[in-house]
Amino acid sequence: MSVLSVRDLEISFKLGGVWHPAVNGVSFDVERNETLCIVGESGCGKSITALSIMGLLTDAARIEGSIEFDGQNLLKVREKELEKLRGDKLAMIFQEPMTSLNPVLKIGLQIAEPLMFHKGLSQSTAWKQAKNLLDLVRIPDAATRLNQYPHQLSGGMRQRVMIAIGLACKPDVLIADEPTTALDVTIQAQVLALLNDIRKEQDLSIILITHDLGVVANVADRVAVMYAGELVELADVADLFERPSHPYTQALLSSIPRADRTDHLVPIRGQVPPIHCMPTGCRFSPRCDEVTNQCDAKPYLRGDTHLTRCWMRGGD
C-alpha cells in the first residue's frame, strides 16, 4: 500500500523571463515500510523533489502535478496545514547537520521542540522523551548530551541528533537527503544500519536521496534513478544492479571503484545540462554512447515493474 504518491511532478524556475523545468514529469510511489532511494548526479533534481514534498521550496519555484499523502494533495494544502504535517507525519533529515541545527540551543531543546509543538507535551515530559530518542539513535551518555550544544558533538553524533529530531513524532515518511555525505566510512555504515533498524521497528517509510550507489546497494528496497530532472529508471534494487537498463544507470555503475576491477574507472563524459539548455529529445543523448536518430524524440518510461526511459531499452 502506498503511503506517498507523486504524480507528474514539474518544478520550474524563471530564467530570463522564461519558465524552465528543473524537474519534469516525475512520478513514483513510496510503500509502507520500504526504503526508496533516489539516485543521480548533482543537479539531477533529487533534493528539490524532496523539498517539494515537504513544501519547503520558495515562491520562486512553480510546482505542478500532485503529491498525495494521507488523502490530500500536499501541493494544494495551505501553509498552516503543512506546518502541522512537517515534523509530525512527514519529517526530513538534511545533508549538513551543523547548518541545520541551531548553534545556540541545547540539543535536548531542539529534540523536544517538535514534541511540544505537535504532541502538546510539557517541556519536562518532552525532555525525557528526548533522552529516550538519543538512546534510540545510540548516542552514549544521553543525559549529558541533552545539555550540550551542536559544536560540542562529533559529526556522527550531530547526524544522529538530526535523526532523533526526525523520528521524534514517529512520522509515516522520513526523507533523508544525503545523510552520510560528511561522515567517514565507518560512521556512515553505522548511521545507515541505524536507519534501517528503526525503519523495521517503527514501520517507517524512508526516501533516501544519495549519489552513492554503494549506499543504495546496502539499504534500498527500490531505486529511482534521476537524470536532468527526469526519472530515467525505476526498479527493485536487486534487479537494478543485476540488469541495469538505462545507459545512464549503466554508466553510473561503471564509474564505481570495485575491488574486482583494478584497471581504471570509466568516467561519464560531459555533464548534466543546465535547465535552460536541455536537449529536446532524450536528455542523456549528448553523453550517451548508444545515441541514434530516434533519440531526437523524447522517450517515455516503459516497463511493468522495471521502468526505463530509453528508446533502445524497454524495461521489463
Cβ(255)–Cβ(240) below 8 Å: no
Average pLDDT over residues 192-206: 90
Q: How many other C-beta atoms are found inside a 10 Å radius of the C-beta of residue 274?
A: 12
Is the per-residue pLDDT at 315 higher than 60? no
Cell numbers placing 156: 556522527
Give all domains of the chain, ordered by start, each with its CATH number.
2-89+171-309 (3.40.50.300)
Average pLDDT over residues 163-190: 87
Provide the total of helices (H) and of strands (E) in the chain, helices listed first.
11, 12
Confidence at residue 211, expressed as pLDDT on a 0 to 100 scale: 86
Quote the CA–CA distance of 25 and 283 in Å, as a whole number: 13
Tell me the per-residue pLDDT of 108-128, one tens digit each, with 9 for 90 and over. 999 999 999 999 999 999 999
Tell me the per-residue pLDDT of 136-170, one tens digit each, with 9 for 90 and over. 998 999 999 999 999 999 988 998 899 999 999 99
Quote the CA–CA distance of 20 and 16 in Å, as a whole number: 10
Tell me the per-residue pLDDT of 79-91, one tens digit each, with 9 for 90 and over. 999 999 999 999 9
Q: What is the pTM of this model?
A: 0.92
Confidence at residue 230, expressed as pLDDT on a 0 to 100 scale: 97
Confidence of residue 186 (pLDDT cuts 50, 70, 90): confident
Partners of 223 in the beta sheet? 37, 235
Is the per-residue pLDDT at 134 higher than 60? yes
Is the per-residue pLDDT at 57 higher than 60? yes
> Which residues, in sequence order, are CB contacts of 301 under 8 Å at separation 6+?
231, 234, 307, 308, 309, 315
Confidence at residue 188, expressed as pLDDT on a 0 to 100 scale: 82
Tell me the per-residue pLDDT of 95-112, one tens digit each, with 9 for 90 and over. 777 788 999 999 999 999
Residue 217, class by beta-carbon neighbours within 10 Å (0-12 exposed, 13-18 middle, 19+ buried)? middle
Tell me the per-residue pLDDT of 9-41, one tens digit each, with 9 for 90 and over. 999 999 999 999 999 999 999 999 999 999 999
- Per DSSP bridges, beta strands 230-236 and 222-227 are antiparallel
Average pLDDT over residues 66-81: 94
**Which helix (H) or strand (E) covers residue 135, if one does?**
helix 123-136
- More confident of the two residues 190 and 149: 149
Quote the CA–CA distance of 61 and 59 in Å, as a whole number: 5
The length of the chain in residues reads 316
Tell me the per-residue pLDDT of 234-262, one tens digit each, with 9 for 90 and over. 999 999 999 999 999 999 998 876 666 65
Quote the CA–CA distance of 29 and 222 in Å, as a whole number: 10
Is the per-residue pLDDT at 282 higher than 90? yes
